[in-house]
Amino acid sequence: GKTSPSEVRAALLAYAAAEGLEDPADRRCLRPNGPLTDACYKKKGGGPYPTSVPKDEILKVLLSKLQGHYALLLPGEDEPVVRRGRIQPVLIEVEKRQGNKHMTKVSGLETYGVDPDIYARDAQRVFASSSSTEDVPGKNSRAKIVLIQGHLANDVAENLTQTFQIPPKLIETKLGRGVKAKKKR
């Protein structure tokens, strides 16, 4: 299941209370028992294990051993999609082509339930410019990149936020060499 850091802390303190692990000499510390020692301090060398550890330190070690997840509620879905790891932002890159021409590349749309082929078709109409898709380089990648003609980083970011409710903090913009940032209108 999904567990927040505060829930991990509550579970640790409940376990410590049930097992009587609080250090009588220092109430801010715990005396780890076998299972807690194994979970936090499994050593390869078999050196000495700590006998009294601050609660915050044990919590830090436990949290570092847990695997991160994220939940994403896609439009039109009732249940959030839960995936392992950190959420990847939508990446908008602007590259300079020959002369004063620019190309805007948008990748990572699939994570947010946006079909790149449909987005490319809609982008032609919304931005009044040519657009297409291409496969992301790599053997096992099924992801696609949307290519849109022109310097449209700000416009694409605004469109993704308004149309697909992708939060601005999950949209990353990169400008290639020789590309100047466009002023927001």
Please check whether residue 72 lies inside any domain of the structure: no
Is residue 10 domain-shared with residue 60, that is, in the same domain?
yes
Look up tokens 């949209």; give the residue.
Answer: 171
Kindly report, residue by residue over 116-128, the tens digit of the pLDDT: 999 999 999 999 9
Is residue 164 domain-shared with residue 102, that is, in the same domain?
yes
Can you give the C-alpha Rg of the chain in angstroms? 24
**The two structure tokens encoding residue 17:** 């209370």
d(CA 110, CA 88): 10
Please check whether residue 185 lies inside any domain of the structure: no
Number of domains, the chain? 2
Q: What is the mean pLDDT of the chain?
A: 85
Please check whether residue 77 lies inside any domain of the structure: no
Can you list the alpha helix ranges (DSSP code H) found in the chain? 5-19, 34-41, 55-65, 116-127, 153-164
Domain that holds residue 42: 5-65
Look up tokens 């294990």; give the residue.
Answer: 49
Which residues in the chain show pLDDT less than 50? none
Is residue 61 domain-shared with residue 95, that is, in the same domain?
no
Tell me if the pTM is above 0.85. Answer: no
